[in-house]
Amino acid sequence: MRFLVIFGVLFVTVNSIVFDDDSSSGSHESSYYSGGRGGHHGGRPPKHQPVTERPETKCEPGWTRVHRQSGGWCVKVFVGMTNQPQAELLCAQHGARLSAVENHEERETIAELGRVMMTTTSAWKFGTLRTGIKRDTLHSPFYITDGNAKGLNAVKWSGGEPNQGSYGGGGNNCGMMWIWVPGGKQVRQRRHGEFFSMVCHMSWNDRFRGYVCGKPAV
């Protein structure tokens, strides 16, 4: 009888140990495959950070925003009979530079701004705008001076331009935009919104004169 009691106690103890081991193993396996803290795989999926869109840059009142590869670019046409260095200094007073053109839309925009400025501030029907396009000599290539425009692809020269002329001791080394409305004087093959070359160091009061400044939008 005593032997049977001892044997029964041992049997219950062994079964308890085996059951506990199985339960523990099952718990670990469940944790492993379900991505629990004890597993080597899984875990919480990473949180997606919200995408913050940058607000569109703007121009101050009176300036017109155009698009360039670098982003927004602000342009404004001013009235003034100036040479190239003087126009650069006047633009600098506005935190800007003499503006070139980077694309055809920008060229058309500046031409329209010039037309509006000419017809609303004067009786002239033809004139010129100084721009940030020049060359060093009559035989060297033109380049951009506004420090922003990419290339000269949008500079549309009128027929016979750029020319190799000179006047008053200086070559026609500055690229200027021709502004014209019906009834205006026809000069050579110049057409509204196109470019021609003229001296940089002089200007004349014989037509509408202006210049275009440009600076990055903020």
Residue 210, pLDDT > 70, answer: yes
180 in helix, strand or coil?
strand
Higher pLDDT, 169 or 48: 169
Strands (E), 32-183: 64-68, 71-79, 97-98, 126-134, 143-144, 166-167, 170-171, 174-180
Q: How would you label 64-89 residue by residue, b for 16+ Cβ within 10 Å and e otherwise?
A: bebebeeebbbbbbbbebbbbeebbe
pLDDT band of 52, cuts 50, 70, 90: low
Query: Per-residue pLDDT tens for 14-34?
Result: 344 333 444 444 444 333 334
Higher pLDDT, 4 or 105: 105
Q: Other C-beta atoms within 10 Å of 4: how many?
A: 8
Above 70 in pLDDT, residue 50? no
Residue 18's pLDDT is: 38
Tens of pLDDT, residues 179-192: 999 999 999 999 99
Residue 54: what pLDDT? 67
Q: Give the pLDDT confidence score for residue 55 in this predicted structure.
A: 74
Domains defined along the chain, listed by start: 1-49 (no CATH), 64-216 (3.10.100.10)
Q: What is the predicted pLDDT for the residue at 81?
A: 97
Quick check: 13 pLDDT over 80?
no
Give the pLDDT score at 15. 43
For residue 36, pLDDT over 60 is answered with no
Q: Which pLDDT tens digit goes with each residue over 62-103?
A: 999 999 999 999 999 999 999 999 999 999 999 999 999 999
Give the pLDDT confidence of 104-156 residue by residue, as tens digits.
999 999 999 999 999 999 999 999 999 999 999 999 999 999 999 999 999 99
Eight-class DSSP state of 157: B
Indicate whether 11 pLDDT > 70: no
Quick check: 186 and 148 in contact, CB under 8 A?
A: no
For position 43, what pLDDT does the model report? 62
The whole-angstrom separation of Cα 174 and Cα 195 is 10
